[in-house]
Structure 1
Amino acid sequence: MSIFSKRLKEARTAAGLSQERLGIEAGIDPASASARMNQYENNEHVPNSLTIIQIAAALNVPPAYFYCVDEDEARMLLLFFRLDMPGKKRILALAIELHDTVHTAR
């Protein structure tokens, strides 16, 4: 199973959507939505970049989430993506501070 297929299934399951419902919400023709999502989750086909963006929007995840190999990185990406702008700015400031602290301590 590819990382894309794994993340897609995880995100769909977490959202409580069927393959068909996700496909329809992502703009895939209802007649083929279930089959296409099944093929993506089973690594039989890879969607094009526009379809990935639409799937990500339907799942409320950033497209990059589908490619995170590291579990902690995937979780951080989701958490950051779902923050409002003040929260994102705060996290970025903390990350910069931590980065600078670690690199000056060396």
Structure 2
Amino acid sequence: MWKFHILMAQISRAIDMKSFGDRLREARTAAGMTQEQLGFALGVTKASISAWENGRETPSFRVLPELRNALKRSLDELICGVDATSTTKPHDKDTAELKAGSVHERTLLVRFRALPAKKREAFLEMLKP
């Protein structure tokens, strides 16, 4: 679990944008939800939501798919700040040729490939829009 927290922090620094907590707060308020309402929907406390929004903690892998569903936002957008609707999907023939565009992307790719197969599958599952 601690590896996920480190990964989340590295992604936030690599992107140099709003923090995960800022994006979470914006998505929650845009959805018209209070911290308490979102916590109830996820099965966590209001204090947990507050800690995530203030950067003191990050949600567990278990909560991420539920978070995506409750806020109706992609995890790409929430975690990385990437609007999934604005990205283009590569063609199948291009997929094999994809290369990391920066040192940060390469680091993420290397760490992803180092994960056990089940964790890679779980990670990809949580990234689905």
Work out the number of aligned pairs and report it: 75
- Equivalent position of 1:34 in the other structure: 46
Matches within 5 A, 1:5-84: 5-28=21-44, 33-69=45-81, 73-74=82-83, 77=84, 80=85
Shift of 1:27: 2.4
RMSD: 2.8
Q: Which runs of 5+ in 1 are unaligned?
A: 81-90, 97-106
Tell me if the contact between 1:5 and 1:40 (Cα under 8 Å) persists in the aligned partners.
Answer: yes
Give the distance between the partners of 1:56 and 1:67, measured in 2 at CA.
Answer: 10
Q: TM-score, normalised by structure 2?
A: 0.49
Give the distance between the partners of 2:37 and 2:71, measured in 1 at CA.
Answer: 11
Give the distance between the partners of 1:25 and 1:14, measured in 2 at CA.
Answer: 16
The structure having more radius of gyration, on CA atoms, is: 1
Q: Percent identity?
A: 30
Q: TM-score, normalised by structure 1?
A: 0.59
Give the distance between the partners of 2:88 and 2:57, measured in 1 at CA.
Answer: 36
For 1:37, give the aligned amino acid: I
* Richer in helix (by share): 1
